[in-house]
Amino acid sequence: MYKGLFEEARRVFADRCGMRLVKAFKEFADSGHLELMTCAATHGFLPALSAEPTAVRAQIFTAISEHERIFGSKPKGLWLPECGYYPGLENILAEAGVRYFFVDSHAIENADPRPVSGVYAPLFTASGVAAFGRCPSTSKLVWSDKVGYPGDHNYREYHRDIGYELDQNYLQEFQYAPGIRTHTGIKYHRITGPGKDKQLYNPDRARETAERHARDFVARCRDQAQRLSSRMPYPGVITSPYDAELFGHWWFEGPQWLYFVLREVATQGGDLGLSTPGEYLKNYPVQQKATPTPSTWGRNGYAEHWINPKTAWMWRPLHESAVRMTQTVQKAMKQPRPRLDDRVLRQAGRELLLAQASDWPFIITDGTTEEYARRRFNDHIHRFHHLLNEYEAQTIDEEKLCVMEHCDAIFPELDYTLFAPK
């Protein structure tokens, strides 16, 4: 089974996609099968960056520009990192040409004024950008490993891996370094139940379970759609966003389940249909106007996973760096700049965007690879100030600049003037 999966993955990646996955995504978007969105440039946690609007603007506009560079068109929607929303963010989104974004259910339920249709219809914010709310029932069915589908005992157990269980002499040939045990992705057991004792995985039984769960999911959504039709003047929308890593990584059978869901909707969906947010807004352009409440889809629904005693030390350096970047760019735009100065300012912008990534406080809060996150954050902050110190003193070390451009080679066409006020 695993040999077949690996060979198929190689065929798709190497032969079908030419080792460029964005090429396949672009083909599906051009043919109308997918509606591609973007995110913030480095998944910066925007509510915590909002004290410096230029930082938020740079995160959003850089992402829009990069999406257009890669796919040849601007995205209609934007995924707010961690669904992190604060009132006023929609103005920057509107300026960037974004038509819609997503928030968690309580952002819609507590909106001002209260929504007539709850999370089952988007809200138009004051700027005209639509906010879609996550449906809580479909989220729990798929996301929860306690009451949701992924916790079924027939599905593959994630944590047990042959890299830690089989004989070392047998594994030696396949290890990237002699004697180093690590995850291989090859796992022989099913969830079975709580506790350490696990039974062997049965792919056929797991596939049947995924098909059964897909039928259940579609039936529940179809029933929900029928109930909504009696209360709403137009079809309601069930918005079901999930982390992509759930499908195939944490939940091995997730891609199979998704396939069965799509097939079931096509054959047994009844009044239930598949749509994209852009299509929905095109078909139903009249919606209620309201302002969602500040929120995230993080732990407990707000910002505590990124702003807490363990991460408090990170935010002052980020705010100070954003202010310094804005002031430096403002001064630079008033006079001609040699090409080397442009390169320094562009690289300083990259380092600042990388320091703003929400990954670092998230990892530190979780305590998983905390030392790595601290080092990455501090490295980017240090490089940022080093670059601007050299720029201001006009003592630019071009060789060292080249090293930084090579190490942090993100956003090749970054417009550092985005860090200046509009």
Q: Hey, which residues are catalytic here?
A: 82, 243
Long-range contacts (CB closer than 8 Å, 24 or more residues apart) made by 242-250:
242/139, 242/142, 242/143, 246/142, 246/143, 246/150, 250/150, 250/158
Distance, in Å, from the CA atom of 153 to the CA atom of 209, rounded to the nearest integer, reads 10
Q: Are 217 and 102 in contact (CB under 8 A)?
A: no
Distance, in Å, from the CA atom of 244 to the CA atom of 142, rounded to the nearest integer, reads 12
Phi-psi category of residue 242: left, alpha or beta, with phi > 0 → left and psi -120 to 50 → alpha: beta
Q: What secondary structure, in 3-state letters, does 218-281 show?
A: HHHHHHHHHHHHCCCCCCCCCCCCCCHHHECCCECCHHHHHHHHHHHHHHHCCCCCCCCHHHHH
Three-point CA angle 35, 40, 41, nearest 5° = 110
DSSP labels, 141-205: HHH-TTTSGGG-TTSBPSS--HHHHS-HHHHGGG-SSTT-----S---BB--SSSS--PBP-HHH
Q: Among 70, 120, 79, 118, which residue's Cα sits nearest to residue 100?
A: 79
Tell me the residue type at 254.
G
Sign of CA pseudo-dihedral 397, 403, 409, 413: positive
DSSP labels, 327-369: HHHHHHTTS---HHHHHHHHHHHHHHHHHTBTHHHHHHHHTSS
Q: Which strands form 38-39's sheet, in the order they lie side by side? A: 38-39, 77-79, 100-103, 130-133, 123-124
Give the max Cα distance, the chain.
70
Integer CA distances (angstroms), 218 to 34, 206, 232, 260, in order: 20, 18, 20, 10
